[in-house]
């Protein structure tokens, strides 16, 4: 897949580790699911507007260390500013960019650091490195969460890759987590939306650590259409199973990493 990424240490995280991730890909069909928390964070509010007007996107910009939640109008303006900076650096229309944040709640983003970090990340694009990308979006995670698989339809191979972060405030209706899955299949938005909802209901909306539903939960599936595999009514179930495989592995990693957790319990209801 022709997916590029850039990371930066902008100084948002107290640890000084990577805290900005920019992901760039060809203009692609996508599907997104967000928290149902009535106090959704500024990036979630912004991205919901993108979903209303845009069927395809070309980039994601994510910061960790600050959730940009409970930050009011200023927080929304800062989320939009992150999009504008990214779009300008990558030569894209701002409507093609989605923004995400994770970290401390109730603190305004240090926009000077964020701006410098985004510019640095955009200037140093490289091939998608799942481990490094997962590292850049992590906060209290004990380990980096990423997984990939391949499938075959009519003799043609396709790929599904994903990253995630999350350890606490995990509960159905999305958890305090960010997750992104990338695939190179050709698929229309209606089919992708159906597959995404099916997968989310059986993975990220079926896990719980502490019963707390967060403000920033976001899950995005991007389909670049670069492979020769075209998803239709006859093979959509097989594709959904591969999407499910990646999402399930990421969801289980989040539960295993639950803050203070020592056991992973899986309950099957018949």
Other residues' Cβ atoms within 10 Å of the Cβ of residue 233: 7
Burial of 132 per CB tally in 10 Å (0-12, 13-18, 19+): middle
Q: Could you tell me which residues come within 8 angstroms of residue 215 by beta carbon, excluding any fewer than 6 positions away?
A: 35, 37, 39, 40, 41, 44, 67, 69, 70, 105, 176
User: How far are the Cα atoms of 31, 70, 77, 129 from residue 113, in angstroms, in the given order?
Assistant: 30, 20, 16, 23
Judging by beta carbons within 10 Å of its beta carbon (0-12, 13-18, 19+), is residue 180 exposed, middle or buried?
Answer: buried
176 included as an active-site residue: yes
Say if residues 183 and 256 touch (Cβ distance below 8 Å). Answer: no
Q: Report residue 228: phi and psi, to 5°.
A: -90, 0
The catalytic position among 176, 183, 196, 215 is 176
Residues with a catalytic annotation lie at 176
């Amino acid at each position: 897949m022709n997916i590029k990424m850039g990371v930066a240490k902008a100084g948002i995280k107290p640890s000084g580790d990577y805290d900005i991730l920019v992901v760039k890909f060809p203009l692609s069909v996508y599907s997104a699911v967000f928290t149902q928390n009535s106090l959704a964070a500024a990036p979630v509010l912004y991205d919901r507007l993108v979903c209303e007007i845009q069927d395809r996107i070309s980039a994601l910009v994510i910061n960790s260390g600050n959730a940009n939640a409970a930050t009011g109008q200023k927080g929304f303006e800062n989320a939009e500013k992150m999009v504008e900076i990214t779009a300008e650096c990558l030569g894209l229309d701002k409507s093609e960019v989605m923004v995400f944040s994770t970290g401390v709640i109730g603190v305004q983003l240090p926009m000077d650091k964020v701006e410098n970090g985004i510019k640095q990340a955009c200037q140093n694009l490289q091939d998608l490195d799942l481990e490094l990308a997962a590292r850049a979006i992590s906060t209290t995670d004990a380990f980096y969460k990423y997984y990939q698989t391949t499938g075959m339809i009519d003799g043609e191979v396709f790929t599904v890759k994903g990253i995630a972060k999350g350890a606490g405030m995990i509960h159905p209706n999305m958890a305090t987590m960010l997750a992104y899955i990338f695939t190179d299949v050709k698929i229309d938005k209606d089919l992708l939306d159906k597959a995404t909802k099916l997968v989310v209901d059986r993975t990220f909306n079926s896990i719980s650590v502490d019963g707390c539903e967060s403000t920033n939960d976001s899950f995005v599936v991007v389909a670049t259409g670069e492979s020769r595999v075209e998803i239709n009514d006859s093979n959509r179930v097989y594709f959904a199973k591969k999407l499910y495989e990646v999402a399930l592995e990421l969801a289980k990693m989040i539960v295993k990493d639950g803050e203070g957790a020592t056991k992973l319990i899986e309950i099957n209801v018949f």
